[in-house]
Chains A and B, each alone.
Chain A
Amino acid sequence: MIFGIPVQAFLGQLLIGLINGSFYALLSLGLAVIFGLLRVINFAHGAQYMLGAFVAFLLLQYFAIGYWAALILAPLIVGLLGAVIERTMLSRLYNLDPLYGLLFTFGLALTIEGTFRYLYGASGQPYAAPSWLAGGTNLGFMFLPNYRGWVVVVSLLACLGTWLLIEKTKLGSYLRAATENPVLVQAFGVNVPLLLTFTYALGAGLAAFAGVLAAPVYQVSPLMGTNLIIVVFAVVVVGGMGSIMGAIVTGYMLGIAEGLTKVFYPEASNIVIFVIMAIVLLLRPAGLFGRDA
């Protein structure tokens, strides 16, 4: 017993919190990467997450392509789609107030979501976890469904991989330099517009990756993205978009906080992240890891 709550229930909710936190981390990471370079808040991030799950579902349905291939293919397809959108439309908005980017991607999200709701209805479609990860493992103190353990590990790896890509590689150094001063980087012969397209595709791909991971946990539904993205916005406000690591850490922290709230005060579990956001705004308006005011 921990604080009068059975250990099993406590750890179970902690695990759910960790799973949610994985998705918050992956999505807020993508938002931060896109915002860092493009100065656009990608409202369509939730729709791209949903697209990832749907691409996996459709690949299985029509081409009998399973989970493992989908885990690679779906991010590529959605990333490519993101690149096309960035090239043809989003890139026209860079010189304007960032609010226009938000409004444009909001419209994009509505269009994608509406289309899928029209085609597949509002109800969710089941997507089975691969047989290799079915079942669970008894850890002695709790029962761990294998797939959920896999989600936590893989998303952690994906977050770390992205962080390494940006902080430790040559490409990443170009990205960081272009964030600081795009004109100068362009003058050094780096193709900055291409870098912007790549960054948006990377962000969209990360969202799609999270979507494929989420497909067996939740149901594949057209509405799965938008409600999530609003919570992720709150996560981003708490973390501040100044640092990649900040986005990751905040995502996991708030996921766990949400899980623990479900144990102790379930009625507030829907709003706890928003309450934390309000408190952080009072104490540290720039966000926990934020540099910009």
Chain B
Amino acid sequence: MVELSEKMATNVQPERTASMIQVGLLVVAVGCLAAAPLFLYPIFLMKLLCFALFACAFNLLLGYTGLLSFGHATFFGGAAYFTAHAVKEWGVTPEIGILIGVAGAALLGLVVGFFAIRRQGIYFAMITLALGQMFYFFCLQAAFTHGEDGIQSVPRGHLFGLIDLNRPTSMYYFVLVAFLIGMAIIWRFINSPFGMILKSIRENEQRAISLGYSVRNYKLGAFVMSAALTGLAGGLKALVFQFATLTDVGWQMSGEVILMTLLGGIGTMIGPIVGAGLVVTLQNYLATSDFPVTIVTGIVFMACVLLFRRGIVGEFYTSRLGKKLGF
């Protein structure tokens, strides 16, 4: 008896320290994000947060449900247009504008998802890509998007009608809070029974069906959830940069978010954040030179697929240090 309880105690101990380390890391990370505008350019940080949230929302689908969407720009860019239009033309407050963007993206997700989940695997990717391109052409021709010009000089407005978001610091903390809320939702979602069923679909779809789960509805639910959270990122992006353009709905944007997720680590919570950070930094760095980003992006893509498919964070988790920390 004594022996056994001792054994259990020694087993429990490292797990407890590991989870304490993880919580500690989380607190440090949030602290760093809160203090970051003192050291770094706020617009850059906000861009990073938007794309990190975008990549995490995308990863909800690829990493936890096993569905590769090649059309996520539809929800990102679509929400950017909806939010920009609502704030600029209807004069709503920014939080309402963001909510309109999220609702619009969720609706788009429902429509695209409805068609895309009729096929699996590689076809799913091609269908989402094709529907994304269709939405791109729609945005090119629709009146409210202003075609090639996009929606320019979107006002940031006053949050709840009180806090002036034109001050970079207030805007930054608004984006940070929205980002953290989005991440909390994703975390909760993944660790819910719903999330567990999604993982089982990813691992073995046939078995999930035979166990009686209506796989289609779960997939559609995950798709809409991912689209809505992507919409949150897109709406924020429209307010940060104060414009919404065709770039946000193009297939290149869909490719970018795949790269971020792949580079950071598919199916990990913080991988997409790391990936987004690297890609955004790289883009910023290359923006000043005339060397095209696409070449670098393409090479990183190929290297990821050939050499480290787990991504940076995934490789770290499986490394000795990562295991010691209890990942």
Q: Footprint of B on A, CB under 8 Å?
A: 35, 41, 89, 92-93, 96, 98-100, 102-104, 106-115, 117-118, 226-227, 230-231, 233-234, 236-237, 267, 270-271, 274-275, 277-278, 281-282, 285, 293
* Interface contact B121-A98, CB-CB below 8 Å: yes
Convert B108-122 into 0s and 1s, putting 1 for each residue whose CB lies closer than 8 angstroms to a CB of A: 000000010011111
A291 to chain B, nearest CB (A): 13
Q: Would you call A103 and B127 a contact (CB within 8 A)? A: no
Contact B299 A107 (CB under 8 A): yes
Question: Could you tell me the distance in whole angstroms from the C-beta of B291 to the nearest C-beta in chain A?
Answer: 7
Contact with A along B47-76 (1 / 0, CB 8 A): 000000000000000000000100000000
In the complex, chain A residues whose CB is within 8 Å of the CB of B242: none
Complex: chain B residue closest to A111, CB-CB: B298
A237-B119 contact given A92-B306, A118-B295, CB 8 Å threshold: yes
Partner of B302, one of A96, A111, A234: A111
Please, how many angstroms separate the alpha-carbon atoms of A35 and B123 in the complex?
12
Q: Mark B288-305, 1 if CB is under 8 A from A, else 0.
A: 000111110111111011
The one of B131, B138, B255, B292 that contacts A106, using a Cβ cutoff of 8 Å = B255
> With a CB–CB cut-off of 8 A, which chain A residues contact B134?
271, 274-275
A114–B298 touching, CB < 8 Å: yes
Q: Contact residues of B with A, CB < 8 Å?
A: 68, 115, 118-123, 125-127, 129-131, 133-134, 137-138, 140-141, 251, 255, 258, 262, 291-295, 297-302, 304-306, 309
Hey, which chain A residues are within 8 Å of B293, CB to CB?
114
Minimum C-beta distance from A18 to chain B (A): 22
Q: A100-B309, A107-B301, A107-B304 are in contact. List 12 more A-B contacts (CB 8 A).
A: A41-B125, A41-B126, A89-B306, A100-B305, A107-B299, A111-B302, A113-B294, A233-B126, A237-B119, A274-B131, A281-B118, A281-B127
Chain A residue, CB-CB nearest to B290:
A118
Complex CA gap A104/B298 in Å reads: 9
Give the chain B neighbours of A112 by CB distance below 8 A. Answer: 298
CB distance from B132 to the nearest CB of A (A): 8
| Shortest beta-carbon distance from B223 to chain A in Å | 15
Contacts of A285 in B (CB 8 A): 118-119
Please determine whether B129 and A104 come into contact, CB atoms closer than 8 angstroms.
no
Which of B120, B126, B129, B306 has the most A CB atoms < 10 Å from its CB?
Answer: B126
Contact of A114 among B115, B120, B138, B295 (CB under 8 A): B295
Complex: A72 Cα to B106 Cα, angstroms: 50
Chain B residues with Cβ below 8 Å from A281 are 115, 118-119, 127
Q: Is chain B's binding surface mostly helix, strand, loop or mixed?
A: helix
Q: Tell me the number of A-to-B contacts counted with CB atoms below 8 Å.
A: 116
> Is B291 touching A118 in the complex (CB atoms < 8 A)?
yes
Q: Let me know if B115 and A278 touch, CB within 8 A.
A: yes
20 contacts between A and B (CB under 8 A): A99-B121, A99-B125, A102-B122, A103-B304, A104-B301, A108-B298, A110-B295, A110-B297, A114-B292, A114-B293, A114-B297, A114-B298, A237-B123, A271-B138, A274-B131, A275-B134, A278-B131, A281-B119, A282-B118, A285-B118
Q: How many Å lie between the Cα of A118 and that of B134 in the bound state?
A: 28
- A104 touches which of B123, B138, B302 (Cβ 8 Å): B302
Asked whether, in the complex, the Cβ of B294 is within 8 Å of the Cβ of A271, the reply is: no
> A110-B294, A115-B295, A118-B291 known; A93 and B127 CB under 8 Å?
no
Cα distance A236–B125 in the bound complex, in angstroms: 12
Q: How far is the CB of B78 from chain A (nearest CB, A)?
A: 15
The 10 closest A-B pairs by CB, nearest first: A107-B301, A110-B298, A111-B298, A114-B294, A114-B295, A274-B134, A234-B130, A107-B302, A233-B126, A270-B137
Residue of B nearest to A93 (CB): B305
Contact A107/B133 with A98-B122, A114-B292 known, Cβ cut-off 8 Å: no
Which residues of chain B are within 8 angstroms of A267 by Cβ–Cβ distance? Answer: 141
Contact A104 B130 (CB under 8 A): no
Q: Which residues of B contact A106 (CB under 8 A)?
A: 255, 258, 301
CB distance from A237 to the nearest CB of B (A): 5
Task: Flag if B137 contacts A271 (CB, 8 Å).
Answer: yes
- Taking the closest CB of chain B, its distance from the CB of A200, in whole angstroms, is 16
A223 to B248, CA, bound (A): 18
Is the pair B309, A110 in contact by a Cβ cutoff of 8 Å?
no
